Amino acid sequence: MSSELGSTFIKNYSSLLTTVWTSEAEAAKLAEDPTAYARAKGLPVDQGAMVRVDSTPHEGLFHKDEVIADWTATPGVHILHVPATPVVDLNELQDADLEAVTASDTFIVIIL
């Protein structure tokens, strides 16, 4: 995945996380059809591929390379890491904080 595409992926992935974590209706849409939901949120789903949601708790932070590697590792299957509950209190974050997270070049902030 090119660095420009990787930046877009991380931005859209981060946005998807905050949307799912702040809306039960959005979480239900993701659970109902992860592939269609990922496409609708701007993630690059390969033609004929399926998206599998992984809600397994993660030790520490997800590194952007880890998220991208898992997304692209298996032909025909994209792994989408979406911890079941937010690991930060989204109500305490300001818009600038969320923008900083989505603009991050190094880490996806998921603190356990």
- List the domain range (segments joined by +) for residue 40: 3-108
Could you tell me the pTM of the whole model?
0.74
* Comparison of pLDDT for 83 and 45, the residue scoring more: 45
Of 61-65, 69-73, 91-95, 103-107, minimum mean pLDDT range: 103-107
Q: What is the mean pLDDT of the chain?
A: 81
DSSP letter, residue 61: P
In terms of Cα–Cα distance, which of 37, 84, 80, 35 is closest to 57? 84
d(CA 92, CA 71): 29
pLDDT of residue 62: 76
Q: Is pLDDT larger for residue 60 or for residue 54? A: 54
Cα–Cα distance measured from residue 52 to residue 22, given in angstroms and rounded to the nearest whole number = 20
Report yes or no: 55 and 83 within 8 Å, Cβ to Cβ. yes
Assess whether pLDDT exceeds 50 at residue 112: no
Tell me how many domains the chain contains: 1
